[in-house]
A and B are shown apart, each in its own frame.
Chain A
């Protein structure tokens, strides 16, 4: 019984962490799908979400809801600027060059945030209190429910957007074949910009909802970005649901690994499984093998 309770706790903790990875992974996949590049500044969008919310809350004295909207909006604008100033001007650059540029951008954003707000870790108050909730012998915080809720909303929203709107379908078309999309009259440039907008918004939203739990500082984006990237890889860098499952699996494995095996090898266990998946199913866990990307 004791062990069962423990395992329930590990799984719930893991799912909570996993949802965060899933959200970040999703924002990786969105940009990858329309541009073919992996945006390594994604973690920085997450960090900006948290840091800007705290700034709006403490310095600008906005109420929490307004602070969140402001933070997501500002991060989205930064995402747009990033695409306009760093990605678009390089018309015929290879994806590799673009990836290097995103790494440069991530270092720049991190540096600017460090200079503006210092190196201290800051905490955001929880959205609805810190009284733990008991579920099947395990406990979780109200903030975890926020994380689950927002993750589900974002997934549903993405699914509806990509499958049932003209813009969403156009973006998917760009991901399948850029030239063909262009030929049928889709403005690829606009779709790329659009993908940065959505990705920055989703990333920063993830940063906002986790800030009360994990706290935030100028350098939280590095590790979170890496974990989100793993989630996206596990999901095959494309399918929305696959990425989400990838994130949840990664989070649960970490938590079970730390709890049942050894906390020292927690990351090692998770990354070992990632490597295993890459060996056995290089196309990702939940993706049909025949999908070919050009």
Chain B
């Protein structure tokens, strides 16, 4: 009897051991986000979203039966720290892929690390130089500024408006926008008749607008992030400007409407589709993903999901797809990522190829107009 009991115990123990061995170890994925510091408005929703997606995937049984493990580090928006942490992810944690970082500066700094270690990186930042020229191991999910510019110009061309005045902020966001606005103008048959700038902390832009008013453009395009564009919207209302005013995607949030108040009425801007998910027609390929993301984010964090969270959502889902198709090795994931076609995510419909690691077209942006303190789609 005693022997029987001990055999039973022994076999039970063996059984336990074998199941433990059968459940394969989780697939390790690294994440670098600027959760603190000046870029925390990017990093925080990105970190939240990435964690949320991993939790959801694991709850649903993981990828091909294997759980995912997300190892997140905070770069604080500091490129030096980002490089150290990227090294740590690659050498100590031995992750199979990395998502992030949040800013273009951090991303450019870690590119040499991942290229050398041959680990795929899906960046959540927008800078065009991240994937231009194409780097073998680097992909990105955030939309290029070029696409936003193209979206505005396309609309102007449709309305046969050819003379524009541009007013850009004198920081990296504004100067990148200014470059693109000037570079693409000719292609759309648009003439820039007035080119002005303002400082990120300036509090009155009526001089620039007065000057623009006298140049009589068909439209004004302003490129900046809050609060400058809100000041410009108010100044334009003060001067009684009747010229259509376009903003950049840098202010595509409810915050802009709140800051500009009544002056926001009628302003148009290119925006990612998260903002207007419910307004999109049923035929829109992204609608399913968008609604799922917004609902999940609301359930997890009691807050509205935004574009930035969307970049991390896209990165995680692209990675999930790549692991399903390409296996759990860095090289397999990279090849599967590059072969991704028509993935309808939050930022747009991604189709990567050997020549394009950004994967989006100008349809990633939709043109919205502020009406009655809310967004409507511009037809």
Contacts and interface: CB of A to CB of B under 8 A. Distances in A.
Given A13-B204, A267-B199, A121 B238 contact: no
A217 B41 CA distance: 15
Interface stretch (A64-72, A81-89, A99-107, A253-261): A253-261
Q: Which of A9, A219, A260 is packed against the most chain B CB atoms within 10 Å? A: A9
Given A130-B262, A139-B238, A139-B239, A255 B204 contact: yes
B158 interface: no
B263 A259 contact: no
B262 A121 contact: no
A93 B182 CA distance: 55
B197 interface: yes
Interface in A1-56: 2, 6, 9-10, 13-14, 16-17, 20
A19 to B, nearest CB: 11
B227 A10 contact: no
B41 A119 contact: yes
Contacts of B240: 132, 139
A213 interface: yes
B160 interface: no
B198 interface: yes
A220 B239 contact: no
A260 B231 CA distance: 20
A292 B238 CA distance: 46
A61 interface: no
Given A123-B258, A215-B230, A16 B237 contact: no
B326 to A, nearest CB: 40
A123 B261 contact: yes
B208 interface: yes
Identify whether the interface residues of A are mostly helix, strand, loop, or mixed.
Answer: helix
A290 interface: no
A130 B263 contact: yes
Q: Which of A122, A260, A266, A267 is packed against the most chain B CB atoms within 10 Å? A: A266
A213 B203 contact: yes
A141 interface: yes
Contact of A132 (B207, B231, B238): B238
Interface string B203-244: 110111011001000000000001100110010011110000
A109 interface: no
A225 to B, nearest CB: 11
Given A130-B263, A132-B239, A13 B207 contact: yes
B192 to A, nearest CB: 14
Contacts, number: 100
Interface in A128-162: 130, 132, 139-141
Contacts of A163: none
Contacts of B3: none
Interface size class of B (residues with CB under 8 A): 20 to 34
A157 to B, nearest CB: 24
Contact of A259 (B41, B197, B203, B211): B211
B104 interface: no
Contacts of A14: 207
Contacts of A255: 204, 206-207
B231 to A, nearest CB: 7
B196 interface: yes
A222 interface: yes
Nearest to A215: B227
A214 B203 contact: yes
A210 interface: yes
B172 to A, nearest CB: 15
B207 A130 contact: no
B336 to A, nearest CB: 38
B261 A2 contact: no
A263 interface: yes
Nearest to A130: B262
A185 interface: no
14 contacts: A13-B206, A16-B204, A20-B203, A125-B261, A130-B262, A132-B238, A132-B240, A139-B240, A215-B259, A222-B201, A258-B208, A262-B196, A263-B196, A266-B202
Given A10-B210, A121-B226, A217-B227, 14 more contacts: A9-B206, A10-B207, A17-B204, A20-B203, A121-B255, A123-B261, A139-B239, A140-B238, A215-B227, A222-B201, A223-B201, A254-B207, A264-B196, A264-B197
Interface of A: 2, 6, 9-10, 13-14, 16-17, 20, 119-123, 125, 130, 132, 139-141, 210, 213-215, 217, 219-220, 222-224, 254-256, 258-260, 262-264, 266-267
